[in-house]
């Protein structure tokens, strides 16, 4: 049940990136995603995926404790700011339902795409996420040293 909730959450973000048309690549399940969450190492041991659709990317991964996903416009290699004036967003969902976000409602950070092709995306990320209202989350979460390398 908990694993299903994480998959639904990540699927929702990936679907949001795919809205608006028929040009879709992904989702893929070959790759890796890792980060440091509040000083503790996290890796996507249950899998990582990416979707590219209509000029937007969504990348995400999951393990037994957390699911993490990031959505951003595809303008190629470069840095995308996460924050109140940006369409880029990130979510961290903990087993049990608590969730934190960095998006137009708060939080901040960045995603740097280091390479992108028709079938693969790599990059780095970091963000500070605020509690998602009514999710049971408390306090901010700091995500650093994030990396992704996903074939889709």
Mind listing the pLDDT tens digit of every residue in the chain (152 residues)? Answer: 333 333 334 444 433 433 333 334 545 458 999 999 999 999 999 999 999 999 999 999 999 999 999 999 999 999 999 998 899 999 999 999 999 999 999 999 999 999 999 899 999 999 999 999 999 999 999 999 999 999 98
On the 0-12 / 13-18 / 19+ scale of CB atoms within 10 A, 11 is middle
**Is the pTM here over 0.85, yes or no?**
no
Rg of the chain's alpha carbons, rounded to an integer?
14
- Integer Cα distance of 131 and 59 in angstroms: 21
- Integer Cα distance of 89 and 81 in angstroms: 9
């Amino acid at each position: 049940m908990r694993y299903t909730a994480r998959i639904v959450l990540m699927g929702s973000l990936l679907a949001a990136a795919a809205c608006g048309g028929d040009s879709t690549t992904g989702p893929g399940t070959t790759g890796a995603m890792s980060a440091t969450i509040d000083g503790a190492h996290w890796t996507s041991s249950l899998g990582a995926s990416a979707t590219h659709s209509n000029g937007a990317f969504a990348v995400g991964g999951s393990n037994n404790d957390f699911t993490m996903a990031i959505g951003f416009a595809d303008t190629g290699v470069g840095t995308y700011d996460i924050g109140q004036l940006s369409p880029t967003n990130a979510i961290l969902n903990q087993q049990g339902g608590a969730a934190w976000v960095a998006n137009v409602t708060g939080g901040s950070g960045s995603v740097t795409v280091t390479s992108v092709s028709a079938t693969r995306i790599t990059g780095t990320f970091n963000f500070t996420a605020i509690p998602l209202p009514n999710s049971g989350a408390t306090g901010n979460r700091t995500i650093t040293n994030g990396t992704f390398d996903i074939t889709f």
